[in-house]
Amino acid sequence: MKQQNVLQGEYVDLVIVGGGMVGLMLAAALRHSGLHIVVIERAAYQPMMSMGLDCRVSAIVQGNVNILKSVGVWQYLQDKAGLMTSMRIWDGQEQGGIRFEAAEIGEDKLGILVENAALIQALQDTLKESENVELLCPESVTSVAWKRQGVEVSLESGRELNTPLIVGADGARSWLRQQADIDVFSRDYKQKGIVATVKPRFSHQNTACQRFLHTGPLALLPMKDDVCSIVWSASNERANDLLGLSDEDFLDELNLEVGAVFGGIVEVGKRAAFPLKAQLARHIVRPRLALIGDAAHSIHPLAGLGVNLGLRDAMVLAQEIVDAGKFEEGWGDMDVLTRYMKQRMPDVLMTMASMEALHRTFQVQLPAWIKLRGLGMKALGNAGIIKQMLMKNSTGIQIESNLQI
């Protein structure tokens, strides 16, 4: 009698390694699909508190806000989100500032600002509505074996699973990506991003501000209750100096850079910092494996678009899995995963290239270049339809219209 190569362990339809924002988003998008989904997260998220708020904040563009609504997450998040109705960008003390208003593209906001802890909690609350999704936390994968028929997954608890598809949503240092022997293209900016919650003297009026300094961009992001989150990108040496200052001296340095914006900053909470790197996995799909979010790509945070790319990854992959089920395809097959890759790579590569170009543009400090840069920003601010097209693209509104499961 001919022996069959039978997979070991309990069958589940999908295993997601990583229970952060992007992994949870994929599970939330599929929670009504009827698939048995297991999300594995090594440890519960630990917020870094600053003035009572998680100082790690995500800027969610309007297109992805609409996606959060369609998936059912928004009902748990709307009371915790700060609105961004306008954005001011300027370069040093030059005349070439630019302002974006949501009303210019017929929207009530450009996006929202939300604590990472609040977004993760909202996604977890959404998943509680589904009996088909298991969130295992704390739990770890100890081994994974790819076979022709599926993937065998061993957990630290002793549980054994097999699945047609395993998804890596476990961050920039993805363990699963390493197990698949997938290397990355990497770019170290030799910078750190300093984050903290700050209190301005006057209301921010839902306006985000970003000033490009010669050491890196400094962003003031509007949160609820008229506080702001800052993301200050600076060279490693400069960042270390800033982190070593007292709160009073740090405020002096911060106000020196932001000037009279919102009447100045009067209070700063606990500060933290993280290294700034960009990377792209050499393969974001392999047979029975897909990478999403930072496991697949990470970018410089100067425009706050990183998490938005990850959320769109999750939605596109969810759509391909649902479509594969409808047409009786195996969602772990390369034909299906290649469709996911082909849909995502133009958005990812264009965004990464844009962020790199923007970074290089504002790093140059030659007087003639600074003047030309300022004139270019001023021209864009008066460009009418070109400015509107840029806003619709950067807010993800055009992309979001194609992401309805």
The two three-digit tokens of residue 223, written as one number: 């949160």
Count of CB atoms situated within 10 Å of the CB of 24: 27
CATH superfamily of 10-185+277-400: FAD/NAD(P)-binding domain (3.50.50.60)
The amino acid sitting at 42 is R
| pLDDT of res. 92 | 61
Distance CA 196, CA 159 (A): 40
What's the whole-model pTM score? 0.89
DSSP for 29-47 reads HTTTS---EEEE-SS----
The two three-digit tokens of residue 46, written as one number: 């630990």
Single out the residue of 10, 9, 42 nearest to residue 23, CA to CA: 42
Task: Write down the domain spans for the chain.
Answer: 10-185+277-400
Single out the residue of 213, 180, 220 nearest to residue 198, CA to CA: 220
The H or E element spanning position 98 is: strand 98-101
Whole-angstrom CA distances from 96 to 92, 231, 257, 381 are 9, 22, 17, 9
| pLDDT of res. 302 | 61
Distance CA 398, CA 403 (A): 10
The answer to whether 50 touches 272, Cβ cutoff 8 Å, is: yes
DSSP for 378-392 reads HHHHT-THHHHHHHH
The two three-digit tokens of residue 219, written as one number: 């962003």
| pLDDT of res. 47 | 95
| pLDDT of res. 6 | 75
Residue 5 burial (10 A CB sphere; 0-12, 13-18, 19+): exposed
| pLDDT of res. 395 | 52
Count of CB atoms situated within 10 Å of the CB of 375: 13
The answer to whether 176 touches 170, Cβ cutoff 8 Å, is: yes
pLDDT, tens digit only, all 405 positions of the chain: 233 457 899 999 999 999 999 999 999 999 999 999 999 999 999 999 999 999 999 999 988 999 999 999 999 999 999 999 998 888 765 545 777 888 777 888 999 999 999 999 999 999 998 899 999 999 999 999 999 999 999 999 999 999 999 999 999 999 999 999 999 999 998 999 999 999 999 999 999 998 888 777 899 999 999 999 999 999 999 999 999 999 999 999 999 999 889 999 999 999 999 999 999 999 999 999 999 999 999 987 665 667 899 999 999 999 999 999 999 999 999 999 999 999 999 999 888 777 666 655 555 554 544 554 554 445 444 444 444 444 445 555 555 445 556
| pLDDT of res. 89 | 82
